A and B are shown apart, each in its own frame.
Chain A
Amino acid sequence: AQSVTQPDIHITVSEGASLELRCNYSYGATPYLFWYVQSPGQGLQLLLKYFSGDTLVQGIKGFEAEFKRSQSSFNLRKPSVHWSDAAEYFCAVGASGTGRRALTFGSGTRLQVQP
């Protein structure tokens, strides 16, 4: 069974500082990996995805993530955080090939941005 761990429940950074949100997954083969963002009262918006190929993927809003197979990680990064980035971030894993299509989500990391 696949699983996702986001070890940081809550992170606070200053505006303009760099950001890294951690995500570790468990899956028997090469997974499909996703990061979603959820603003208060809103649905989930896809930030970026990894299916195969280049392990460093670029997403929207200046975010990027790196797939590290040896560490079973898919950490999300942004070089300079903006106040509008305050939201909850979810990492998710999906099955590749003909496996189960539904995503398994981590418990989320709430990002607070200080002025």
Chain B
Amino acid sequence: DAGVIQSPRHEVTEMGQEVTLRCKPISGHNSLFWYRQTMMRGLELLIYFNNNVPIDDSGMPEDRFSAKMPNASFSTLKIQPSEPRDSAVYFCASSYDQGEQYFGPGTRLTVT
């Protein structure tokens, strides 16, 4: 199994630009999670999907952030417009129901 796949691995963009992060979960998993990791706040959940439906988006910082899961094998996290304070490592993880979560390698986002 290829594991959770995230792209890009690194993204550098200027403030105000749109950023799209992509995730392919492990085949057969029905839950997908987006986390953000920063030095100040640690690992925090942004949103999670179950069977492609958003269940809890209470961690999404503000309206600039949006996430979609059009099918069981693909999800996107979009930031528009991006700001320097969005700089962080964004992780995608997947699981089957409430089993263990498997994490992707992360996308390191830098907004200048």
Enumerate chain A residues within 8 angstroms of B95, measured Cβ to Cβ. Answer: 101
Kindly state whether residue A112 has any CB partner on chain B within 8 Å: no
Complex CA distance for A95 and B42, rounded to whole angstroms? 20
Kindly state whether residue B102 has any CB partner on chain A within 8 Å: yes
Interface residues on chain A, size class = 20 to 34
Enumerate chain B residues within 8 angstroms of A104, measured Cβ to Cβ. Answer: 45
Q: Are B97 and A43 in contact (CB under 8 A)?
A: no
Q: Are B103 and A100 in contact (CB under 8 A)?
A: no
Select which of A42, A49, A105 is within 8 A of B100 by beta carbon: A49
Kindly state whether residue A25 has any CB partner on chain B within 8 Å: no
Complex CA distance for A95 and B56, rounded to whole angstroms? 14
Q: Are B42 and A101 in contact (CB under 8 A)?
A: no
Q: Are A94 and B42 in contact (CB under 8 A)?
A: no
A43-B106 contact, Cβ under 8 Å, with A32-B98, A34-B100: yes
Q: Please give the residue numbers on chain B whose beta carbons come within 8 Å of chain A beta carbons, in ascending order.
A: 4, 31, 33, 42-43, 45, 48, 50, 55-56, 91, 93, 95, 97-98, 100-106
A-B residue pairs in contact (CB < 8 Å), sample of 18: A32-B98, A36-B103, A43-B104, A44-B91, A44-B103, A45-B103, A46-B100, A90-B43, A94-B98, A95-B98, A96-B98, A99-B98, A101-B33, A101-B48, A102-B33, A102-B45, A105-B43, A107-B42
